[in-house]
Structure 1
């Protein structure tokens, strides 16, 4: 291509760019579109339509998943050596992990933890692991079964620290140690990066469990940013992961049942998600002004509160924020009966408001 032609194309692109910016600025018009104007289908209808979608290349997917079975013996050996297994790759790995557990881990107890659920009780998982380990210890020490049963108090009444101490090989109440015992129990965590256990505290508890001498962890991740949940110590010392790329290309049917569909109308949870998306695109000051509206108050009182918190410098700034909120139906006004002033309020239920606070 001629050099002159290249320069002319670059000039034409630049000219069109600035022309478009000028035209957009000259109109001065604001979009009247609202998120509530989107025609959203019913969630149940959308899920039924999704369930009727046929899986493509089903035979090839089956052959691919079967090929991973040749790794079962290697995975079991690495677990016996004290490593954890972390499976990643596109597709649901739920059936793969459970098949591995039922096929290659028959000698040790297995607890399954569904991290894709919105709420998961990690202490209940620790209690189940301790009970399985206790049963294995009793089976190997048949001569002292009676003494063990009398000395050990119920695990459900113990603290998380006591449970992890027992799983890590500390002494039981009858004076016997579990450290020299070669028993171990396994926990299979589907989606260890799930929403219910994604916060730091849950990940620290899980890493503490994984580091116990009698616990082995097998987990799956599906979020590309999942490794950001852990620091160096958690990855290399506590979880002690062996990473395996095992794409299955299987649909997330079970996992997806517990997530609200973005194209479906699902009540307060969807309203909270929509509100969070809008608020995350605003400035920190605008988000703080929105939080100030939570209690519901007249507009003149809101200005005083925002001035005290140094969120706005003038009534004009506050009005611009409120206009933005009203355009997206995040804030509404209603007439108070006592003095006739307009009162600001957020048209979301309390549970949705809590979700919005967590998101922003």
Structure 2
């Protein structure tokens, strides 16, 4: 009956479409820099009410600390960015503790980056691991032996790159490590569907509504918008975001590759830096200790689309950063801006 109705009233021809598109607007689109400047100078509204809201949230800080100390993990939800509130919690109650911040909204963040940051920067381990499970076992055993505590902050644990089942399985195993305390945020309306009953119990979440009504400026800084004129500024911003999520040694390797490419920017026949030359320079700077370490790092760069590889006529593998000289030079002037 329903099918007959739509068949009778539908017709074979599609409905008319409008030609009113964004490209026909007389208002020129802003570039990313002008958009950010306009947002920063936008007048704030309801300041008094927002301050009162923050004060109510800050009253929970000592309670949060007590609950974290008793083996619970915190999951913060609600409308608005939670970065300011979390930074206040970190700088006051947790100012003398070991902390690590993960930005789950990064377009190329992976669970491997999180584990590598813990083992290399927190536990100061220089070796490699055969698998993620081996790395998790090492983290678990080390924290149990040393009795240290790590407060792991994950902005947007429901981010596109972290919401997969395999990633969440690793994170809930990490949540069960003695000494690791997780404070995470979610913003997607369907975020609770990420976890089944088993994962939820392993995370041992305590849920807190921390609605702030703050704009998601940092969380959406890498997003493409139809209202924004796309330019190299956005590409450079994305590059900086990705590099911030890497280890210091990884950034050092990228820095050497970028310097070499800038030195040959006027060479029209330049096809990239050979793997052997990069390895020698990295060894001189103590950035890697073996070919395998550098290979693993380059694989990570490829996953982030930071580099391209191409074999020359002699069969030598050459590495190239897919950015023009001007943009690469701008990055080298102020790498982490």
TM-score tier by shorter-chain length is 0.5 to 0.7
Correspondences of 1:331-350 after superposition (within 5 Å): none
Q: What is aligned with 1:77?
A: 66
Q: Does the Cα contact within 8 Å between 1:155 and 1:163 map onto a contact in 2?
A: no
Q: Which residue of 2 aligns with 1:139?
A: none
Match of 2:80 among 85, 91, 103: 91
Distance across 1 between alignment mates of 2:85 and 2:15: 55
TM-score (norm 1): 0.54
TM-superposed CA distance for 1:247, in Å, is 0.5
Q: Does 1:41 align with 2:29?
A: yes
The answer to whether the 8 A contact 2:158-2:191 is kept is: yes
Equivalent in the alignment of 1:194: 159
Find the aligned partners of 1:192 and 1:27 in 2 and give their Cα distance.
45
Could you state the TM-score of these two structures normalised by the residue count of structure 2?
Answer: 0.57
Q: Give the CA deviation at 1:47.
A: 4.3
Counterpart position of 1:31: 17
CA deviation after TM superposition for structure 1 residue 42, in Å: 4.0
Q: Is the 8 A contact 1:130 1:167 kept in 2?
A: yes
CA contact 1:130–1:155 (8 Å) conserved in 2 = no
Task: Name which of 184, 207, 222 aligns with 2:187.
Answer: 222
Partner of 2:256: none
Segments of 4+ moved more than 3 angstroms: 24-30, 32-40, 45-52, 130-135, 155-159, 262-267
Structure 2 unaligned segments of length 5 or more: list them. 232-337
Q: Match for residue 328 of structure 1?
A: none
Paired residues, number:
224
CA distance in 1, matches of 2:103, 2:91: 16
Aligned mates of 2:162, 2:13 — CA distance in 1: 48
Query: SS state of the match for residue 66, structure 2?
Result: helix
**Counterpart mapping for 1:272-311 below 5 A:** none
Instruction: Please give the alpha-carbon distance, in whole angstroms, between the structure 2 residues aligned to 1:208 and 1:129.
Output: 14
Whether the 8 Å contact between 1:86 and 1:244 is mirrored in structure 2 is yes
Instruction: Please state whether the residue corresponding to 2:112 is helix, strand or coil.
Output: helix
* Alignment-derived partner of residue 323 in structure 1: none
Equivalent-residue separation in structure 1 for 2:121 and 2:12 (angstroms): 71
Greater C-alpha radius of gyration: 1
Q: Distance in 1 between matches of 2:15 and 2:57?
A: 58
Instruction: State the 1:46 CA deviation.
Output: 4.3
**Other structure's SS at 1:186 match:** strand
**Unpaired stretches in structure 1, ≥5 consecutive residues:** 1-17, 136-152, 173-177, 268-360
Partner in structure 2 of residue 257 of structure 1:
221
* Alpha-carbon separation, structure 1, partners of 2:149 and 2:121: 9
Could you tell me which residue of structure 1 aligns to residue 91 of structure 2?
102
SS in 1 for 2:153: strand
Counterpart of 2:136 (choices 164, 182, 188) is 164
TM-superposed CA distance for 1:110, in Å, is 0.6
